Amino acid sequence: MNPKFQLVALICKYQTQASVSSIANSRSAVEAVAHYLHDQGCEVVLEHETALNIGLSGYQHLTVPQIGEQCDLGLVVGGDGTMLGIGRQLAAYGVPLIGINQGRLGFITDIPYGSFTASLGNMLRGEYIEEHRSLINACVMRGGHCVFKAMAMNDVVVNRGATAGMVELRVEVDGHFVANQRADGLIIATPTGSTAYALSSGGPLLHPSIPGWVMVPIAPHNLSNRPIVLANTSHVAIEIVAGRDASASFDMQSLASLMHGDRIEVTRSSHHVRFLHPQGWSYYDTLREKLHWNEGVATT
């Protein structure tokens, strides 16, 4: 066959302190997917850190920037956390991504590993649904200077310290004062992140096509402080007014310690992540399956 994607990069979930059995399982999964891709006529490369951590040889290794510059497709074997990390890094290059789920949830890695051959062959021939997911940029401003910046696909979260009480946060949107909030923290989530921490904190689900964010207080002192949906063209600023040991996290994968007077400024990224799904994929099917809707309800 002549696949649409000639050069495919494999990226795998790995942990530097993972058990021997976990590493072996990851290596076995990547080898199985690599052999299948080769049988379909694709040239396969491994992301550099993936290859080193699972100890797989026999394939060319590329760094993430090299994958962005050279590859036609990125194929992630793992869970949503793995996809979040690589999605942010490859967004600027426009490389499409397919997720094979070895994790627990799989909101954005939606092809089950146990049956990946049933979907992947058709997708390699160009039979897929493409969707774009938005990203947000965040910067921690201190004394008029950016001291930490990051990109997020899920959310930006300002949290209180582990042993401290509530934090007080001054929130502005597009330069307009919104409120001073006393809470355990505050979440700014994309539609992708609306099914993550924001959902567990009482926020609404946002369809991925909605050009918006949801701002969700975490355990607010004033129960009238409710989630609000904002346009993703907004400029959101969160200032630390009071509270000890506050921090900001970005997709729960990078962290910044905060001081009184720090401002976390959130804006829309100019980049987006390209996801490819099997034909027939539906966002609503994903919600129904992952959130266990209709359990115990008779369906026709």
Q: Where are the domains of the chain?
A: 7-126, 135-270
Tell me the sheet residues that pair with 250.
156, 254
Give yes or no for residue 15 having a pLDDT over 60. no
Give yes or no for residue 298 having a pLDDT over 80. no
Q: Could you write out the three-class secondary structure of 52-64?
A: HHHCCCCCEEECH
Asked if CATH classification 3.30.70.1380 holds for the domain at 7-126, the reply, yes or no, is: no
Q: At 74, is the secondary structure helix, strand, or coil?
A: strand
Give the confidence band of 14 by pLDDT, cuts at 50, 70, 90. Answer: low
User: What are the tens digits of pLDDT across the range 225-270?
Assistant: 999 999 999 999 999 999 989 999 999 988 899 999 999 999 999 9
> Is the CB of residue 296 less than 8 Å from the CB of residue 158?
no
Alpha-carbon gap, residue 206 to 212, rounded angstroms = 8
Assess whether 110 carries a catalytic annotation. Answer: no
pLDDT of residue 156: 98
Alpha-carbon gap, residue 82 to 11, rounded angstroms = 8
Alpha-carbon gap, residue 228 to 213, rounded angstroms = 8
> Is the CB of residue 213 less than 8 Å from the CB of residue 234?
yes
User: What are the tens digits of pLDDT across the range 25-77?
Assistant: 888 999 999 999 999 999 999 999 999 888 888 899 999 999 999 999 999 99
pLDDT of residue 70: 98
pLDDT of residue 71: 98
Query: For residue 86, what are the CA distances in angstroms to 112, 116, 174, 285?
Result: 19, 20, 30, 24
pLDDT of residue 18: 54
Which of the following is catalytic: 72, 80, 155, 285?
Answer: 80
Superfamily of domain 135-270, CATH level 4: Probable inorganic polyphosphate/atp-NAD kinase; domain 2 (2.60.200.30)
> Is the CB of residue 136 less than 8 Å from the CB of residue 266?
yes
Say how many CA atoms lie within 13 Å of 238 toward its Cβ: 28
Give the confidence band of 1 by pLDDT, cuts at 50, 70, 90. Answer: low
Q: Where do we find the tokens 């996809």?
A: 83
Give yes or no for residue 118 having a pLDDT over 80. yes
pLDDT of residue 57: 81
Give yes or no for residue 20 having a pLDDT over 80. no
Q: For residue 244, which phi and psi values (nearest 5 degrees)?
A: -100, 150
Which H helix or E strand runs over 141?
strand 128-142
Alpha-carbon gap, residue 290 to 189, rounded angstroms = 19
Q: What is the mean pLDDT of the chain?
A: 92
Q: Where do we find the tokens 């907004």?
A: 234
| Rounded average pLDDT over 156-164 | 87
Exposed e or buried b for every residue in 199-233, given b needs 16+ CB within 10 A?
Answer: bebebeebebebebbbbbbbebeeeebebbbbebe
User: What are the tens digits of pLDDT across the range 199-231?
Assistant: 999 999 999 999 999 999 999 999 889 999 999
pTM of the predicted structure, to 2 decimals: 0.92
Beta strands at 254-257 and 247-250: parallel, antiparallel or unpaired: antiparallel
Give the CA diameter of the chain. Answer: 62
DSSP 257: E
Give yes or no for residue 22 having a pLDDT over 70. no
Give yes or no for residue 16 having a pLDDT over 80. no
Give yes or no for residue 98 having a pLDDT over 60. yes
Give the confidence band of 173 by pLDDT, cuts at 50, 70, 90. Answer: very high
pLDDT of residue 163: 75
pLDDT of residue 299: 56
In this structure, of 70-74, 80-84, 128-132, the range with the lowest mean pLDDT score is 80-84
Alpha-carbon gap, residue 9 to 156, rounded angstroms = 28
